[in-house]
Amino acid sequence: MTTSEKSLRVCDKGHKYYKSSDCPTCPTCEAGRTPKSGFLSLLSTPARRALENNGITSLQELSNFSEKEILKFHGMGPASLPKLRDALKEEGLSFNN
């Protein structure tokens, strides 16, 4: 098994962190952006960012998309779908077919 080299990075706010991937996201900044409530708080950080980067910040907006469309977003995986389905159902909504 090979190990990836981690390089020291500094974000725009001065936080220092190590990353082995090309992902530019600062873990310290990202931790401060994590919602404490709402359906986005149920998701992993990549899945939450996938929705936010596609302009989806409410269940009403989410209901305009099909599951297939959501899964095409970079960072969204199948493990997030049950959480999203349940959140939509609680509000009387569902994915678009």
- CATH for 69: 1.10.150.20
Question: Same domain for 47 and 94?
Answer: yes
Give the C-alpha separation, 77 to 47, whole Å: 7
Question: Same domain for 45 and 87?
Answer: yes
In which domain, by residue range, is 79 found?
37-97
Question: Same domain for 46 and 80?
Answer: yes
Position 77: which residue type? G
Tell if the pTM clears 0.75, that is, is over it.
no
Position 1: which residue type? M
Question: Same domain for 58 and 85?
Answer: yes
Question: Same domain for 44 and 73?
Answer: yes
* Closest to 51 (Cα-Cα) out of 83, 23, 19: 83
Give the C-alpha separation, 51 to 74, whole Å: 9
Query: What is the count of structural domains for the chain?
Result: 2
CB 51 within 8 A of CB 65: no
Q: Work out the pLDDT band at 2, boundaries 50, 70, 90.
A: low
pLDDT tens-place string over residues 36-91: 779 999 999 899 999 999 999 999 999 999 999 999 999 999 999 999 999 999 99
Helices (H), 1-97: 27-33, 45-53, 59-62, 67-71, 81-90
Q: Is 39 exposed, middle or buried (0-12, 13-18, 19+ CB in 10 A)?
A: buried
Question: Same domain for 46 and 12?
Answer: no
